[in-house]
Amino acid sequence: MESIFGYMESYDYENLLLCQDKALDFKAIIAIHDTTLGPAAGGCRMWQYDSEMDAIEDALRLARGMTYKYAAAGVNLGGGKTVIMGDPKRKDREPIFRALGKFINRLGGKYITGEDVGTTLQDMEYIRMETEYVVTLPTYLGGAGDIAPMTAFGVIRAMQACCKRVYGSDNLEGKRVTVQGLGAVGHNVIEQLHELGAKLVVTDIDPEKIEAMVARYDVDKVDPDAIYDVECDIFCPCALGAVICDETLARMRCKIISGSANNQLKEERHGGLLEQKGMVYAPDYIANAGGTIYDTDRLCVGGVSHKRGKEKVSRIYQNMERVFEIANRDKISTCLAAERMAEERIRKIAEVKKYVDDLKP
């Protein structure tokens, strides 16, 4: 990125805020991409960046990703993100997260933060001491608690919509699913797929996690790298990003990819290559939106309701159907169709919002 304003203009960003406190050794960047649909929301990442420009670019890029995620999910929130420049293992966390809470509070609700890479639920509690504009909180602070089960549920709803497209039925019973990564989301995916009667093959780099799944459910296991060679109906990546690349695509023998990992495609072109191989791909930010849909539901309507939240997450199925419609209509990949779906929604809601509620001058 050579010019900050140039970059902001090219993707139509609204705001970029720099926050610092020398005594606390605190430096943070808040990026707000688009608030057409509602206040910007997006987590707070803590990371050691090589340069300030790298940190700014990361905040801006991630904020834009959140705009697309919420727009495509049908949620009335815009996209934002915070990055704190610093060691994510830093010990004295209360002062810096409370300072961040103060800065966020000044924005009066224009931006809502949450947990992300390098930050913890405890950090969110510190932020909550200074502002109400924070999600990913435990239930005892009015939050939704652990969202991983809902992320897993959303991934499975996307999977079901993909099955309907490929097999004409969304029944997962008997479908062979490979699950990569048995962490917070992955183990919930296994639990829920097991109940739906899927046949499971699992892997993780942590052998203890594999053994725990094998002991608990009727699942097969493979070594981490061997997961790409397993013949299956569905590959469910729930570990790292960039797992879909030239090398793995040449090996994969699945019909569907639907998982929770962020940024699954190593490069954008891999979205097109998938389609050429006849695979159906659930774009990551559509499939993995369940947790945040559930978590932010209380902001839009008021109060946590498990039933309502789950129902909204369930609509990921319909969101995928819409992605397929656009992909068919415009003869494009599901990745491009998801982007188009988000952009169309923002454009149309902007149209609705031009009508003023209060006609007083």
Tell how strand 26-34 and strand 15-21 pair up: antiparallel
Rounded to the nearest whole angstrom, what is the least distance from the CB of residue 225 to ligand NAD in the complex? 8
> Within a 10 A sphere around the Cβ of 160, how many other Cβ atoms?
21
Cβ contact 352:345 at 8 Å: no
What residue ranges bind ligand NAD (CB under 6 A)? Answer: 147-148, 151, 180-186, 203-206, 209, 224, 238-240, 260-262, 288, 291
Give me the sign of the Cα torsion angle 265, 271, 276, 281: positive
What does DSSP assign to residue 265?
B
The upper half-sphere exposure of residue 88, i.e. CA atoms within 13 Å in the direction of its Cβ, equals: 13
- H or E element in which residue 352 lies: helix 334-353
Residue whose CB is nearest to ligand NAD in the complex, by number: 183
Which secondary structure element, helix H or strand E, spans residue 242, and what is its range?
Answer: none
Nearer Cβ to ligand NAD (9/211): 211
Residue of 121, 137, 146, 158 whose CA lies nearest to 288 = 158
Smaller CB separation from ligand NAD, 288 or 333: 288
List of residues 6+ apart from 282 with CB closer than 8 A: 155, 158, 159, 161, 162, 256, 257, 258, 259, 320, 334
CB of 150 to ligand NAD, least distance (A): 7
Q: How far is the CB of 129 from ligand NAD (least distance, A)?
A: 24
- d(CA 54, CA 24) in angstroms, rounded, equals 22
Residue 316 CA from chain centroid, whole number: 13
Nearer Cβ to ligand NAD (225/311): 225
Which tokens hold the place of 33? 């991409």
> What's the min distance (Å) between Cβ of 331 and ligand NAD?
29
Closer by beta carbon to ligand NAD, 86 or else 186: 186
Catalytic residue among 27, 69, 81, 110: 81
- The Cα 126–Cα 72 span in angstroms is 31
Radius of gyration of the chain (CA): 21
Q: How far is the CB of 342 from ligand NAD (least distance, A)?
A: 17
CB 292 to ligand NAD: min, Å = 7
How far apart CA 197 and CA 240 sit, in angstroms, is 26
Report yes or no: 94 and 23 within 8 Å, Cβ to Cβ. no
Three-class SS of residue 32?
strand
- Give the SS3 label for residue 31: strand
Catalytic residue status for 81: yes
Residue 79 CB neighbour total at 10 angstroms: 29
| CB of 152 vs ligand NAD, minimal distance in Å | 8
Nearer to ligand NAD, 208 or 218 (CB): 208
**Nearest 5°: phi and psi at 329?**
-60, -50
In this complex, which beta carbon is closest to ligand NAD, that of residue 204 or of residue 297? 204
Name the residue nearer to ligand NAD (CB basis): 103 or 143. Answer: 143
- Which residues are identified as catalytic? 81
